[in-house]
Amino acid sequence: MADNTSHTSTFHTITFELTTGSQEVALDITDRCAAFLDSTAPGRDGLLNIFVPHATAGIAVIETGAGSDDDLLAVLRDLLPADSRWRHRHGTPGHGRDHVLPGLVAPHATLPVVGGRLALGIWQSIVLIDTNGDNPRRTVRLSFLG
């Protein structure tokens, strides 16, 4: 049976800037992602890609507000201590760990969009993870394909 459905794909992308400060942070950006979809993908199905073009930050999909975001930062401190063991040595002491972070918390996530809305679980949020106090300015790229 032939599929006579017409499919038109569109691609939309934006960037926005954030200031994360000089401390480790798990910053919820779910509302920014939802607002982007409201303006570019109303009623559409597709994929949202969230990408942070930095060598020292990542994107996580986790629960926030109940301690999981702080727990993730604590685990990262345990796994990646800010000490002198790192070969990458520019910046503040222990900064080399920040360059290992994207190997554990990827700098991107791709999520389903159904009817113009993120298809997240009830407790899931999109979170920018930044352990690098040397660079408080971050760019986030949102791209919708649908």
Residue 8 lies in a domain: no
Across the strands, what pairs with 118? 113
Q: Answer whether 128's CB lies under 8 Å from 30's CB.
A: no
- Please state, in angstroms and rounded to a whole number, the distance separating the CA atoms of residues 17 and 34: 16
Mean of the per-residue pLDDT values of the chain: 92
> Which two structure tokens, joined as six digits, stand for 45?
């199905």
> Which two structure tokens, joined as six digits, stand for 115?
């009817």
- The domain total for the chain is 1
Residue 82 lies in a domain: yes
Confidence band for 93, pLDDT divided at 50, 70 and 90: confident
> Which two structure tokens, joined as six digits, stand for 122?
């009830």
Confidence band for 122, pLDDT divided at 50, 70 and 90: very high
- Please state, in angstroms and rounded to a whole number, the distance separating the CA atoms of residues 37 and 142: 9
**pLDDT tens digits along 23-61:** 999 999 999 999 999 999 999 999 999 999 999 999 999
Q: Answer whether 56's CB lies under 8 Å from 135's CB.
A: yes
Residue 8: DSSP 8-state = -
Please give the pLDDT value at position 8: 61
Please give the pLDDT value at position 3: 46
CATH of the domain at 116: 2.60.120.460
pTM of the model: 0.90
Residue 1 lies in a domain: no
What domain range is 107 assigned to? 13-145
Residue 17 lies in a domain: yes
Across the strands, what pairs with 57? 130
Residue 4 lies in a domain: no
Residue 77 lies in a domain: yes
Residue 93 lies in a domain: yes
Residue 28 lies in a domain: yes
> Which two structure tokens, joined as six digits, stand for 138?
């971050």
